[in-house]
Amino acid sequence: MLQEYKKYKEQILNRAKKIVIKVGSAVLTGANGLDPRVINRLADEISLLHDQGRDILLVSSGAVAAGCKVMTSCKVKECLAYKQAVSAIGQSRLMHAYDEAFARYNKITAQILLTKDDLKSRERFLNARNTLLNLLSWKVIPIINENDTVVVQELKFGDNDALAALVLNLVEADLFINLTSADGVYNSNPMKDKNAKLLPYIKDISKLDLEEICQGKTTQGTGGMYSKLLAARRAAQIGVPTLIVSGKVRFALERVFSGEELGTFIFPEEKSISRRKFWLAYNLDSRGEVLVDKGAVEAIVNQGKSLLPAGIVDVRGKFGKGALVKVIDAESGESLGVGLTNYKSSELKQIMGRKSSEIENILGQCAYSEAIHRDNFLLGAAL
Ligand code: GLU
Protein backbone atom coordinates (compact mmCIF):
# COMPACT_ATOMS: atom_id res chain seq x y z
CA MET A 1 0.00 0.00 0.00
CA LEU A 2 2.74 2.44 1.02
CA GLN A 3 4.50 1.89 -2.31
CA GLU A 4 1.25 2.65 -4.10
CA TYR A 5 0.73 5.84 -2.11
CA LYS A 6 4.31 6.86 -2.79
CA LYS A 7 3.89 6.36 -6.51
CA TYR A 8 0.66 8.34 -6.54
CA LYS A 9 2.30 11.19 -4.63
CA GLU A 10 5.24 11.26 -7.04
CA GLN A 11 2.89 11.44 -9.99
CA ILE A 12 0.96 14.33 -8.43
CA LEU A 13 4.15 16.23 -7.63
CA ASN A 14 5.59 15.68 -11.09
CA ARG A 15 2.42 16.76 -12.84
CA ALA A 16 1.50 19.73 -10.63
CA LYS A 17 1.19 22.80 -12.84
CA LYS A 18 -0.38 25.34 -10.51
CA ILE A 19 0.75 25.21 -6.90
CA VAL A 20 -0.36 27.27 -3.92
CA ILE A 21 2.37 27.37 -1.29
CA LYS A 22 1.45 28.73 2.12
CA VAL A 23 4.12 29.75 4.59
CA GLY A 24 3.42 30.66 8.21
CA SER A 25 4.85 33.37 10.45
CA ALA A 26 6.61 30.80 12.65
CA VAL A 27 8.64 29.66 9.63
CA LEU A 28 9.46 33.14 8.36
CA THR A 29 10.41 34.89 11.55
CA GLY A 30 13.08 34.34 14.18
CA ALA A 31 14.02 36.21 17.36
CA ASN A 32 14.93 39.32 15.35
CA GLY A 33 11.92 39.44 13.06
CA LEU A 34 11.88 38.28 9.45
CA ASP A 35 14.62 35.75 8.86
CA PRO A 36 16.34 36.70 5.57
CA ARG A 37 17.90 33.25 5.26
CA VAL A 38 14.49 31.58 5.23
CA ILE A 39 13.16 34.07 2.69
CA ASN A 40 16.21 33.60 0.45
CA ARG A 41 15.94 29.84 0.67
CA LEU A 42 12.24 29.97 -0.18
CA ALA A 43 12.93 32.22 -3.17
CA ASP A 44 15.61 29.79 -4.34
CA GLU A 45 13.40 26.71 -4.08
CA ILE A 46 10.26 28.34 -5.46
CA SER A 47 12.22 29.77 -8.39
CA LEU A 48 13.45 26.28 -9.20
CA LEU A 49 9.88 24.98 -9.36
CA HIS A 50 8.92 28.04 -11.40
CA ASP A 51 11.77 27.38 -13.84
CA GLN A 52 10.25 23.94 -14.42
CA GLY A 53 7.25 25.71 -15.97
CA ARG A 54 4.92 25.59 -12.96
CA ASP A 55 2.74 28.48 -11.80
CA ILE A 56 3.31 29.32 -8.15
CA LEU A 57 1.20 31.42 -5.82
CA LEU A 58 2.64 32.13 -2.40
CA VAL A 59 0.30 32.79 0.52
CA SER A 60 2.56 34.38 3.08
CA SER A 61 1.93 35.39 6.67
CA GLY A 62 4.53 37.32 8.61
CA ALA A 63 3.30 40.92 8.34
CA VAL A 64 2.17 41.21 11.96
CA ALA A 65 5.18 39.28 13.30
CA ALA A 66 7.61 41.43 11.28
CA GLY A 67 5.84 44.67 12.29
CA CYS A 68 5.94 43.74 15.99
CA LYS A 69 9.70 43.41 15.86
CA VAL A 70 9.96 46.98 14.55
CA MET A 71 7.57 48.50 17.09
CA THR A 72 9.22 47.00 20.15
CA SER A 73 8.54 50.12 22.24
CA CYS A 74 4.77 49.71 21.91
CA LYS A 75 3.27 48.18 25.05
CA VAL A 76 -0.28 47.10 24.11
CA LYS A 77 0.26 44.13 21.85
CA GLU A 78 -2.92 42.12 21.87
CA CYS A 79 -5.57 44.51 20.62
CA LEU A 80 -6.85 44.51 17.07
CA ALA A 81 -5.90 48.16 16.44
CA TYR A 82 -2.27 47.33 17.30
CA LYS A 83 -2.20 44.37 14.93
CA GLN A 84 -3.85 46.39 12.16
CA ALA A 85 -1.22 49.10 12.50
CA VAL A 86 1.88 46.89 12.86
CA SER A 87 0.81 44.78 9.88
CA ALA A 88 1.14 47.91 7.72
CA ILE A 89 4.75 48.24 8.89
CA GLY A 90 5.49 44.53 8.52
CA GLN A 91 3.77 43.95 5.17
CA SER A 92 5.98 46.40 3.30
CA ARG A 93 9.09 44.87 4.88
CA LEU A 94 7.88 41.40 4.00
CA MET A 95 7.29 42.33 0.36
CA HIS A 96 10.57 44.18 0.16
CA ALA A 97 12.39 41.06 1.38
CA TYR A 98 10.55 38.84 -1.12
CA ASP A 99 11.06 41.27 -4.02
CA GLU A 100 14.80 41.37 -3.42
CA ALA A 101 15.16 37.64 -2.85
CA PHE A 102 13.19 36.66 -5.97
CA ALA A 103 14.91 39.30 -8.11
CA ARG A 104 18.16 37.36 -7.67
CA TYR A 105 16.52 34.60 -9.67
CA ASN A 106 15.05 37.04 -12.19
CA LYS A 107 11.56 36.52 -10.86
CA ILE A 108 8.93 39.20 -10.55
CA THR A 109 6.60 39.16 -7.56
CA ALA A 110 3.28 40.93 -7.00
CA GLN A 111 1.52 41.78 -3.76
CA ILE A 112 -2.15 40.80 -3.39
CA LEU A 113 -3.96 41.75 -0.19
CA LEU A 114 -7.43 40.31 0.27
CA THR A 115 -10.26 40.51 2.77
CA LYS A 116 -13.06 38.00 3.20
CA ASP A 117 -15.48 40.57 1.80
CA ASP A 118 -13.52 40.66 -1.46
CA LEU A 119 -14.13 36.98 -2.11
CA LYS A 120 -17.72 37.02 -0.82
CA SER A 121 -18.84 39.28 -3.60
CA ARG A 122 -19.01 37.30 -6.84
CA GLU A 123 -17.87 40.34 -8.83
CA ARG A 124 -14.80 40.96 -6.68
CA PHE A 125 -14.09 37.23 -6.59
CA LEU A 126 -13.94 37.27 -10.39
CA ASN A 127 -11.81 40.43 -10.39
CA ALA A 128 -9.32 38.82 -8.00
CA ARG A 129 -9.32 35.66 -10.10
CA ASN A 130 -8.73 37.56 -13.36
CA THR A 131 -5.87 39.55 -11.86
CA LEU A 132 -4.19 36.46 -10.45
CA LEU A 133 -4.55 34.54 -13.71
CA ASN A 134 -3.17 37.52 -15.63
CA LEU A 135 -0.15 37.70 -13.34
CA LEU A 136 0.44 33.97 -13.76
CA SER A 137 0.26 34.30 -17.54
CA TRP A 138 3.03 36.93 -17.27
CA LYS A 139 5.08 34.44 -15.22
CA VAL A 140 4.83 36.62 -12.13
CA ILE A 141 4.73 35.05 -8.65
CA PRO A 142 1.76 36.51 -6.71
CA ILE A 143 2.36 36.84 -2.96
CA ILE A 144 -0.93 36.89 -1.11
CA ASN A 145 -1.80 37.90 2.45
CA GLU A 146 -4.87 39.02 4.29
CA ASN A 147 -5.29 42.80 4.23
CA ASP A 148 -4.78 42.95 8.00
CA THR A 149 -4.81 46.75 8.16
CA VAL A 150 -8.48 46.99 7.26
CA VAL A 151 -9.90 43.75 8.63
CA VAL A 152 -12.02 43.57 11.73
CA GLN A 153 -12.91 40.28 13.36
CA GLU A 154 -16.01 39.63 11.23
CA LEU A 155 -14.08 40.13 8.02
CA LYS A 156 -11.22 37.84 8.87
CA PHE A 157 -10.70 34.64 6.92
CA GLY A 158 -9.84 33.03 10.23
CA ASP A 159 -6.21 32.51 9.35
CA ASN A 160 -4.01 32.20 6.31
CA ASP A 161 -4.63 28.44 6.09
CA ALA A 162 -8.28 29.19 5.39
CA LEU A 163 -7.28 31.97 2.99
CA ALA A 164 -4.97 29.59 1.11
CA ALA A 165 -7.82 27.06 0.72
CA LEU A 166 -9.98 29.79 -0.84
CA VAL A 167 -7.13 30.71 -3.18
CA LEU A 168 -6.95 27.09 -4.39
CA ASN A 169 -10.53 27.42 -5.57
CA LEU A 170 -10.02 30.94 -6.87
CA VAL A 171 -7.28 29.94 -9.32
CA GLU A 172 -8.12 26.24 -9.73
CA ALA A 173 -4.78 25.07 -8.38
CA ASP A 174 -3.80 21.40 -8.53
CA LEU A 175 -1.54 21.16 -5.47
CA PHE A 176 -1.42 22.78 -2.04
CA ILE A 177 1.81 22.86 -0.02
CA ASN A 178 1.56 24.10 3.53
CA LEU A 179 4.97 24.99 4.96
CA THR A 180 4.74 24.94 8.69
CA SER A 181 6.94 24.83 11.79
CA ALA A 182 5.94 21.18 12.49
CA ASP A 183 7.36 18.20 10.59
CA GLY A 184 3.92 17.13 9.42
CA VAL A 185 0.80 15.62 10.94
CA TYR A 186 1.17 13.28 13.93
CA ASN A 187 -1.36 10.72 15.14
CA SER A 188 -1.45 12.60 18.46
CA ASN A 189 0.07 15.77 19.84
CA PRO A 190 3.89 15.23 19.84
CA MET A 191 4.31 17.91 22.54
CA LYS A 192 2.28 15.80 24.94
CA ASP A 193 2.77 12.26 23.70
CA LYS A 194 6.32 10.98 23.18
CA ASN A 195 5.01 7.99 21.23
CA ALA A 196 3.28 10.21 18.69
CA LYS A 197 4.00 9.06 15.14
CA LEU A 198 4.27 11.13 12.01
CA LEU A 199 1.65 10.16 9.43
CA PRO A 200 3.33 10.11 6.00
CA TYR A 201 -0.05 9.77 4.25
CA ILE A 202 -3.67 10.53 4.98
CA LYS A 203 -5.83 8.64 2.52
CA ASP A 204 -9.25 9.89 3.58
CA ILE A 205 -9.16 13.09 5.60
CA SER A 206 -12.97 13.20 5.90
CA LYS A 207 -12.73 10.16 8.19
CA LEU A 208 -10.15 11.73 10.47
CA ASP A 209 -11.26 13.11 13.82
CA LEU A 210 -9.44 16.43 13.65
CA GLU A 211 -10.29 17.44 17.19
CA GLU A 212 -8.92 14.17 18.55
CA ILE A 213 -5.67 14.48 16.58
CA CYS A 214 -5.15 18.12 17.55
CA GLN A 215 -6.20 17.52 21.15
CA GLY A 216 -8.03 20.60 22.14
CA LYS A 217 -6.31 23.07 19.85
CA THR A 218 -9.39 23.46 17.76
CA THR A 219 -10.36 27.08 17.93
CA GLN A 220 -10.42 28.53 14.48
CA GLY A 221 -8.22 31.54 13.90
CA THR A 222 -5.46 30.52 16.25
CA GLY A 223 -3.64 28.53 13.62
CA GLY A 224 -1.99 25.32 14.73
CA MET A 225 -2.40 21.91 13.09
CA TYR A 226 -6.18 22.01 13.31
CA SER A 227 -6.52 24.89 10.88
CA LYS A 228 -4.00 23.23 8.54
CA LEU A 229 -6.00 20.02 8.52
CA LEU A 230 -9.25 21.91 8.05
CA ALA A 231 -7.74 23.67 5.03
CA ALA A 232 -6.46 20.33 3.71
CA ARG A 233 -9.93 18.84 4.10
CA ARG A 234 -11.45 21.69 2.11
CA ALA A 235 -8.75 21.26 -0.54
CA ALA A 236 -9.50 17.52 -0.73
CA GLN A 237 -13.16 18.32 -1.41
CA ILE A 238 -12.27 20.16 -4.63
CA GLY A 239 -9.86 17.40 -5.61
CA VAL A 240 -6.65 19.14 -4.53
CA PRO A 241 -3.99 17.14 -2.62
CA THR A 242 -2.13 18.80 0.24
CA LEU A 243 1.39 18.36 1.48
CA ILE A 244 2.00 19.58 5.03
CA VAL A 245 5.74 19.79 5.53
CA SER A 246 8.22 21.66 7.65
CA GLY A 247 9.42 24.96 6.23
CA LYS A 248 12.17 24.95 8.86
CA VAL A 249 13.92 21.95 7.34
CA ARG A 250 16.53 23.07 4.85
CA PHE A 251 15.51 22.71 1.21
CA ALA A 252 12.30 20.89 2.08
CA LEU A 253 10.64 21.72 -1.25
CA GLU A 254 13.58 20.61 -3.31
CA ARG A 255 13.87 17.40 -1.34
CA VAL A 256 10.17 16.59 -1.57
CA PHE A 257 10.15 17.12 -5.34
CA SER A 258 13.22 14.87 -5.64
CA GLY A 259 11.23 12.01 -4.09
CA GLU A 260 12.29 12.28 -0.47
CA GLU A 261 9.65 11.28 2.08
CA LEU A 262 9.06 14.40 4.15
CA GLY A 263 5.91 15.66 5.82
CA THR A 264 2.36 14.38 5.39
CA PHE A 265 0.65 13.94 2.04
CA ILE A 266 -3.14 14.20 2.10
CA PHE A 267 -5.06 12.58 -0.73
CA PRO A 268 -7.89 14.41 -2.50
CA GLU A 269 -11.41 13.02 -2.39
CA GLU A 270 -12.28 10.77 -5.30
CA LYS A 271 -15.47 12.62 -6.08
CA SER A 272 -14.90 16.34 -5.91
CA ILE A 273 -17.59 18.91 -5.22
CA SER A 274 -18.46 21.75 -7.58
CA ARG A 275 -16.49 24.96 -7.21
CA ARG A 276 -19.76 26.82 -6.76
CA LYS A 277 -20.67 24.71 -3.72
CA PHE A 278 -17.18 25.25 -2.35
CA TRP A 279 -17.56 28.98 -2.85
CA LEU A 280 -20.90 29.22 -1.09
CA ALA A 281 -19.87 27.02 1.81
CA TYR A 282 -16.53 28.65 2.58
CA ASN A 283 -16.77 32.21 1.30
CA LEU A 284 -20.09 33.10 2.91
CA ASP A 285 -20.80 33.23 6.65
CA SER A 286 -23.52 31.04 8.07
CA ARG A 287 -26.40 33.08 9.49
CA GLY A 288 -28.36 30.49 11.43
CA GLU A 289 -29.12 26.84 12.06
CA VAL A 290 -31.83 24.49 10.89
CA LEU A 291 -32.34 21.34 12.97
CA VAL A 292 -33.67 18.29 11.16
CA ASP A 293 -35.21 14.94 12.10
CA LYS A 294 -34.09 11.37 11.39
CA GLY A 295 -36.03 11.09 8.14
CA ALA A 296 -34.42 14.23 6.76
CA VAL A 297 -30.94 13.03 7.80
CA GLU A 298 -31.53 9.80 5.88
CA ALA A 299 -32.82 11.67 2.81
CA ILE A 300 -29.99 14.21 2.77
CA VAL A 301 -27.06 12.01 3.76
CA ASN A 302 -27.89 8.68 2.19
CA GLN A 303 -30.08 9.64 -0.73
CA GLY A 304 -28.58 13.00 -1.68
CA LYS A 305 -32.00 14.65 -1.58
CA SER A 306 -33.08 18.22 -0.88
CA LEU A 307 -34.26 19.31 2.56
CA LEU A 308 -38.04 19.65 2.74
CA PRO A 309 -39.84 21.75 5.37
CA ALA A 310 -41.42 18.53 6.71
CA GLY A 311 -38.04 17.34 8.06
CA ILE A 312 -37.26 20.54 10.00
CA VAL A 313 -37.84 20.48 13.74
CA ASP A 314 -36.30 23.80 14.79
CA VAL A 315 -34.89 27.01 13.34
CA ARG A 316 -32.27 29.06 15.17
CA GLY A 317 -31.21 32.61 14.41
CA LYS A 318 -32.73 35.32 12.26
CA PHE A 319 -31.85 35.19 8.59
CA GLY A 320 -33.22 36.21 5.21
CA LYS A 321 -34.07 34.25 2.11
CA GLY A 322 -30.91 33.02 0.34
CA ALA A 323 -28.80 33.06 3.52
CA LEU A 324 -26.25 30.35 4.25
CA VAL A 325 -27.37 28.18 7.17
CA LYS A 326 -26.01 25.14 8.98
CA VAL A 327 -28.10 21.99 8.88
CA ILE A 328 -27.88 20.03 12.12
CA ASP A 329 -29.02 16.53 13.01
CA ALA A 330 -31.39 17.31 15.92
CA GLU A 331 -30.78 13.93 17.55
CA SER A 332 -26.97 13.81 17.57
CA GLY A 333 -26.29 17.56 17.39
CA GLU A 334 -23.87 16.90 14.54
CA SER A 335 -23.54 19.33 11.68
CA LEU A 336 -24.51 17.76 8.35
CA GLY A 337 -23.39 20.61 6.16
CA VAL A 338 -24.38 24.07 4.98
CA GLY A 339 -26.78 25.32 2.37
CA LEU A 340 -28.66 28.32 1.00
CA THR A 341 -32.17 28.58 2.34
CA ASN A 342 -35.13 29.25 0.06
CA TYR A 343 -37.13 30.82 2.90
CA LYS A 344 -36.34 33.39 5.58
CA SER A 345 -36.22 32.20 9.20
CA SER A 346 -39.68 33.50 10.14
CA GLU A 347 -41.24 31.61 7.20
CA LEU A 348 -39.30 28.43 7.95
CA LYS A 349 -40.65 28.52 11.51
CA GLN A 350 -44.18 28.62 10.10
CA ILE A 351 -43.73 25.77 7.61
CA MET A 352 -41.40 23.46 9.55
CA GLY A 353 -42.81 19.99 10.12
CA ARG A 354 -45.44 20.58 7.42
CA LYS A 355 -45.87 18.99 4.01
CA SER A 356 -44.74 21.01 0.99
CA SER A 357 -48.33 20.91 -0.32
CA GLU A 358 -49.36 22.97 2.75
CA ILE A 359 -46.87 25.81 2.13
CA GLU A 360 -49.23 27.83 -0.04
CA ASN A 361 -51.99 27.75 2.56
CA ILE A 362 -49.63 28.82 5.32
CA LEU A 363 -47.56 31.50 3.55
CA GLY A 364 -50.02 32.59 0.88
CA GLN A 365 -47.76 31.29 -1.87
CA CYS A 366 -45.42 28.37 -2.47
CA ALA A 367 -42.25 29.65 -4.15
CA TYR A 368 -40.32 26.40 -3.55
CA SER A 369 -41.21 22.96 -2.26
CA GLU A 370 -37.70 22.52 -0.78
CA ALA A 371 -36.36 24.49 2.18
CA ILE A 372 -32.82 23.94 0.86
CA HIS A 373 -32.29 22.55 -2.61
CA ARG A 374 -29.63 19.85 -2.89
CA ASP A 375 -27.81 21.91 -5.56
CA ASN A 376 -27.29 24.59 -2.92
CA PHE A 377 -26.23 22.24 -0.14
CA LEU A 378 -22.73 21.06 0.76
CA LEU A 379 -22.87 17.84 2.73
CA GLY A 380 -19.92 17.39 5.09
CA ALA A 381 -18.77 21.01 4.91
CA ALA A 382 -15.49 21.30 6.85
CA LEU A 383 -16.33 24.08 9.29
N1 GLU B 1 -2.05 37.86 8.05
C2 GLU B 1 -1.27 37.66 9.21
C3 GLU B 1 0.14 38.21 9.00
O4 GLU B 1 0.58 38.34 7.91
C5 GLU B 1 -1.09 36.20 9.59
C6 GLU B 1 -2.34 35.39 9.73
C7 GLU B 1 -2.01 33.90 9.86
O8 GLU B 1 -0.85 33.53 9.90
O9 GLU B 1 -2.92 33.09 9.87
O10 GLU B 1 0.82 38.47 9.92
State which ligand 1 atom lies nearest to the alpha carbon of 61. Answer: 4
21, 39, 145, 161: residue to mutate for ligand 1 pocket, most atoms within 8 A of CB: 145
Residue 159 beta carbon below 6 angstroms from any ligand 1 atom? yes
Residue 353 half-sphere exposure, CB side, CA atoms within 13 Å?
5
In short, whether 145's Cβ falls inside 6 Å of ligand 1 is yes
The ligand 1 atom nearest the CA atom of 24: 8
- Write down the H helix ranges in the chain: 2-15, 25-28, 36-51, 63-70, 80-103, 116-120, 122-137, 160-171, 210-214, 224-237, 252-257, 275-283, 294-297, 345-351, 359-363
SS3 196: coil
Pairing mode, strands 377-379 and 335-340: antiparallel
Query: Would the CB of 178 count as within 6 Å of ligand 1?
Result: no
Residue 226 CA, chain-centre distance (Å), reads: 11
Check pocket membership of 381 for ligand 1, CB cut-off 6 A: no
Ligand 1 atom nearest the C-alpha of 65 is 10
Backbone φ and ψ of 373, nearest 5°: -75, 145
Nearest to 78 by CA among 90, 86, 66, 89: 86
Rounded to whole angstroms, the Cα distance separating 74 from 252 reads: 36
286 CB near ligand 1 (under 6 Å): no
Three-point CA angle 339, 340, 345, nearest 5°? 110
With the most atoms of ligand 1 within 8 angstroms of its CB, the residue from 22, 23, 25 to mutate is: 25
pLDDT attached to residue 210: 79
Cβ atoms 184, 263 nearer than 8 A: yes
Residue type, 347: E
Domain spans of the chain, in order of start: 2-277, 285-379
Q: What pLDDT shows up at residue 222? A: 42
* CB atoms inside a 10 Å sphere around CB 370: 19
Which of 87, 98, 153, 178 to probe ligand 1 with, by most ligand atoms within 8 A of CB? 87
| Those residues with Cβ within 8 angstroms of residue 11's Cβ, 6 or more apart along the chain or in another chain | none
Q: How do beta strands 201-202 and 29-30 pair?
A: unpaired
The CATH architecture one would assign to domain 2-277 is 3-Layer(aba) Sandwich (3.40)
Pocket flag, ligand 1, residue 241 (CB < 6 Å): no
Give the model's pLDDT for residue 317: 97
Q: How far is the centre of ligand 1, averaged over its atoms, from the C-alpha of 160 (Å)?
A: 6
Spell out, as residue ranges, where the chain has pLDDT lower than 50: 218-222
For domain 285-379, give the fold. 2.30.130
CA distance 188 to 212: 8
243 pocket-lining for ligand 1 (C-beta < 6 Å) = no
Residue 148: CB within 6 Å of ligand 1? yes
**23 ligand 1 Cβ < 6 A:** no
Task: Assign 244 to helix, strand or coil.
Answer: strand
Residue 341 C-alpha to ligand 1 middle, in angstroms? 33
Residue in 70, 86, 148, 219 to alter for ligand 1 test, most ligand atoms within 8 A of Cβ: 148
Q: Is 223 in the pocket of ligand 1 (CB under 6 A)?
A: yes
Pocket test for ligand 1, best of 159, 161, 180, 228 (most atoms within 8 A of CB): 159
Give helix then strand counts, H and E, for the chain. 15, 15
CB 25 near ligand 1, within 6 Å: yes
Ligand 1 centroid distance, CA of 312 (Å): 39
For residue 202, report the distance from its CA to the centre of ligand 1, in Å: 26
